[in-house]
Amino acid sequence: MYYVLILASWFVFGLIHSLTASTWLKQTVALRLGWLSRYYRLLYNAIALLTFLPVLWLHWKAPVEYVSTWQGTALVGLPITMLGAGIALIALWGYDLGEFIGWPVSSQQDTGQGLRQTGLLQYVRHPLYTGILLCLLGIWITQPTWSHTLLVLAAALYIRIGIYFEERKLVSIFGDSYKTYRQRVPMLFPRII
């Protein structure tokens, strides 16, 4: 029963997060609230955080029930978690963090910024997601419980769905240059050769 609650919390988070990320809702807010729409990104992030807290809390409170008799290894899991955290931090460093979270609020969007392909973005299209997935995989390897299994699977599924919609938006913004970039650079994991 506990795992059903975890899955339900992921579903509610995913539904609300997807709805608030939709272009339709952003445009509706812009039409109805006018100048308040410039606070949309900040509100969007606050809602995402508030709806993700129950997911985290349920995972944290979940019983420690291992998927099998193997109880994991920190010797392998912790370095993978640290690698993922490092990649995620480097990826965040490549963004304008103020713009990313919606602060400071500007009255105009910067439309002069082109498609960024530097830093980690020259190796993978979504380095932040790569880092998050590696962190979660490392946590699972350290302690392969049912809760961590659900965490990895739900996050991976949600990230993959998010990438689909994010890339549709990027194609509509950058057109052929993003299509070429998408063909040249892998989604999450760099090519070895």
- Count of helix runs (H) and strand runs (E) in the chain: 8, 0
Average pLDDT score, the chain: 91
Query: How far is 155 from 114, CA to CA, in rounded Å?
Result: 29
Report whether pLDDT(146) > 70. yes
Question: In residues, how long is the chain?
Answer: 193
Higher-confidence position of 105 and 42: 42
Sign of CA dihedral 134, 139, 140, 146: negative
Which architecture does CATH list for 66-193? Up-down Bundle (1.20)
What's the predicted TM-score (pTM) here?
0.88
Structure confidence at residue 111 (pLDDT) = 47
Report whether pLDDT(135) > 80. yes
